[in-house]
Amino acid sequence: MARIPAPVAAVRSAVSRGLADLPAGALVLVACSGGADSLALAAAAHFVLGRRGAAGRVGLVTVDHGLQEGSERRARSVAAWARDAGFDPVRVSAVTVAGLPGGPEAAARTARYQALEAAASDLGAAAVLLGHTRDDQAETVLLALARGAGPRGLSGMPRRRGVFRRPLLDVSRGDTRKACAALGLAPWEDPHNTDPAYARARVRGAALPALVAELGPAVVGNLARTAALVAADNAALDELAAEAHERARSAGGLSAAALAGLPAAIRGRVLHRWARELGAPGGALAYRHVSALDALVTDWHGQGPVFLPAGIAVARRGSDLVRVVAAHIK
Ligand SMILES: Nc1ncnc2c1ncn2[C@@H]1O[C@H](COP(=O)(O)OP(=O)(O)OP(=O)(O)O)[C@@H](O)[C@H]1O
């Protein structure tokens, strides 16, 4: 029997581990752009679930963002390959990106995840697989470090969230490419991946290779491992903060005395949670907002209210932090 090339085996075993808990007969969808990562993922999911016989069901969804010349053709050709290869069901989801908030990259991502979630729910899928690799995770961590993101950003992409799973977070991009080559699959090259207009493309093309050249190839895996370690710490601190938040509630808002006794890492999280609860949107709530709230607790000298995004104001009244409306601000 011919030996299975090592990169093919690496991708298959990662997928097999990532799907081990799924019940027999559950439908798994692969989110496939046609790029090397998700093509290798699709081939591996097909193999792994195929071995389960009638108990393994694997479909494929490809999203047409309609942003690039030829995107419809690409989506059709990924779908045609999938049907030939035996994926069932196969769906092309066309989305409208214009009008969604954020830059073009963020808007495309939002539209894509919505379409994938909708496909999972229409088709009754138990999981949607994404092809993010160890290299993608390392890039995410580096970008998060560079913009001063806290532990939430440094946690990188989760292995699972809702219906989504990322079974390739321990597999290198080199291996997904080699797996495609070994299987005779010709991946689509996304021009955005090398377009220097995108920060991620510059990290991929220049920043991370420079770190690897200076510090050695282990940097990529080490950055990805940092994400996993920080994610575990962060989850534990979030849980402690949720409990501390309940204890710090007072009739009017939050008790400054209860907050003052907390470690800074927990206090900051409680203040962040409370600001979200008051209606401040997560994306707009920044470090400086939470720091200003914190100063109402730890550096109280009669300062005025703190203004949060979405027109929310918080002031200290006696020993409490309370939400105030503009008319009551003195
Ligand atoms: N147009 C699309 N249709 C379906 N799934 C997509 C699409 N674009 C991205 N995805 C999913 O999101 C994952 C991450 O995509 P992204 O473009 O950020 O990274 P990538 O490393 O270039 O992935 P790939 O090599 O698979 O294109 C992909 O691996 C795939 O699972």
37 annotated ligand-binding residue: yes
Q: Does any ligand 1 atom lie closer than 6 A to the CB of residue 136? A: yes
Superfamily of domain 6-224: HUPs (3.40.50.620)
Give yes or no for a contact between 75 and 95, defined as CB atoms under 8 angstroms apart.
no
Q: Does any ligand 1 atom lie closer than 6 A to the CB of residue 62? A: yes
Q: Whose CA is nearest to atom 2 of ligand 1?
A: 33
Domain limits, CATH 3.30.465.60, in the chain = 249-328
Between the alpha carbon of residue 269 and those of residues 52, 62, 225, 250, 327, the distances in Å are 44, 37, 23, 17, 29
Residues paired with residue 59 on neighbouring β-strands, in sequence order: 29
Residues paired with residue 320 on neighbouring β-strands, in sequence order: 255, 317
Outline where 147-217 has alpha helix (H).
151-154, 173-183, 199-202, 208-215
**One CATH from 1.20.210.10, 3.90.25.10, 3.30.70.20, 3.30.465.60 for 249-328:** 3.30.465.60
Q: Does any ligand 1 atom lie closer than 6 A to the CB of residue 190? A: yes
Give yes or no for a contact between 96 and 66, defined as CB atoms under 8 angstroms apart.
yes
Question: Who's near 165: CB < 8 A, 6+ residues apart?
Answer: 18, 19, 127, 128, 129, 130, 159
Q: Does any ligand 1 atom lie closer than 6 A to the CB of residue 154? A: no
Domain limits, CATH 3.40.50.620, in the chain = 6-224
Q: Whose CA is nearest to atom 19 of ligand 1?
A: 132
Q: Does any ligand 1 atom lie closer than 6 A to the CB of residue 38? A: yes
Which atom from ligand 1 is nearest to the alpha carbon of 168?
A: 29
34 annotated ligand-binding residue: yes
- Within the chain, how many helices (H) and strands (E) appear? 13, 10
Between the alpha carbon of residue 65 and those of residues 83, 91, 96, the distances in Å are 21, 14, 7
Structure tokens at 148: 């001063």
Q: E strand or H helix at 82, and its extent? A: helix 71-85
Q: Does any ligand 1 atom lie closer than 6 A to the CB of residue 165? A: no
Residue (of 295, 246, 233) closest to 268 by Cα position: 295
Note down pLDDT in tens along the chain; length 330 residues.
678 999 999 999 999 999 999 999 999 999 999 999 999 999 999 999 999 887 889 999 999 998 888 889 999 999 999 999 999 999 999 998 888 877 888 899 999 999 999 999 999 999 999 999 999 999 999 999 999 999 999 999 999 999 999 999 999 999 999 999 999 999 998 877 888 888 899 999 999 999 999 999 999 999 999 999 999 999 999 999 999 999 999 988 999 999 999 999 999 999 999 999 999 998 899 999 999 999 999 999 999 999 999 999 999 999 999 999 865 555
- CA 219 to centroid of ligand 1, rounded, Å: 23
ipTM of the complex: 0.94
